[in-house]
């Protein structure tokens, strides 16, 4: 793939949790049920017994769930139909400027990173660097 980079990007003013023991809610927006399950397992090992996870299979469902549940963090894929993750992120952040969204994607090119930053997301992570989510959530 052209322009694929395996580098995490953390944008300024990222809110972080105090510790892995903090109660937290997540919304996982990912069209692949298998990937949603992987992210869910990952979170369960990092934040055992102190989290709630909501799941959306596309961007429009993510917007609806965000409106209803107001999760602490959104883990958003980009490539989803009918609404992609960047469009969903823009809609959520437009209505809720304090929304904390992390983009998880296989498309880590410069243009996509820039579009994510312009949308107002808190971090941009290639899916193969799922472990970096803990850096966004817990490190100062």
Q: In this structure, are residues 121 and 11 in contact, taking their beta carbons and an 8 Å threshold?
A: yes
Q: Distance (Å, rounded) from C-alpha 77 to C-alpha 106?
A: 9
Q: Distance (Å, rounded) from C-alpha 128 to C-alpha 108?
A: 11
Q: In this structure, are residues 5 and 108 in contact, taking their beta carbons and an 8 Å threshold?
A: yes
Mean per-residue pLDDT of the chain: 84
Residues 77-92 have pLDDT tens digits of: 999 999 999 999 999 9
Q: What is the pTM of this model?
A: 0.84
Q: Distance (Å, rounded) from C-alpha 108 to C-alpha 124?
A: 8
Residues 40-62 have pLDDT tens digits of: 999 888 876 668 999 999 999 99
Query: Domain spanning 23-105+112-129: which superfamily?
Result: Response regulator (3.40.50.2300)
β pairing state of 9-10 and 123-126: antiparallel
């Amino acid at each position: 793939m052209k322009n694929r980079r395996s580098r995490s990007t953390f944008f300024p003013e990222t809110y972080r949790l105090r510790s892995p023991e903090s109660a937290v809610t997540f919304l996982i927006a990912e069209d692949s049920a298998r990937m949603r399950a992987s992210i869910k397992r990952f979170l369960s090992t990092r934040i055992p017994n102190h989290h709630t996870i909501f799941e959306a299979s596309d961007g429009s469902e993510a917007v609806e769930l965000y409106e209803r549940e107001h999760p602490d963090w959104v883990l958003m894929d980009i490539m989803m139909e009918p609404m992609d993750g960047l469009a969903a992120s823009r809609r959520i952040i437009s209505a809720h400027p304090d929304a904390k969204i992390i983009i998880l994607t296989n498309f880590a090119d410069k243009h996509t990173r820039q579009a994510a930053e312009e949308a107002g997301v808190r971090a941009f992570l290639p899916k193969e660097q799922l472990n970096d989510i803990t850096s966004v959530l817990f490190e100062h």
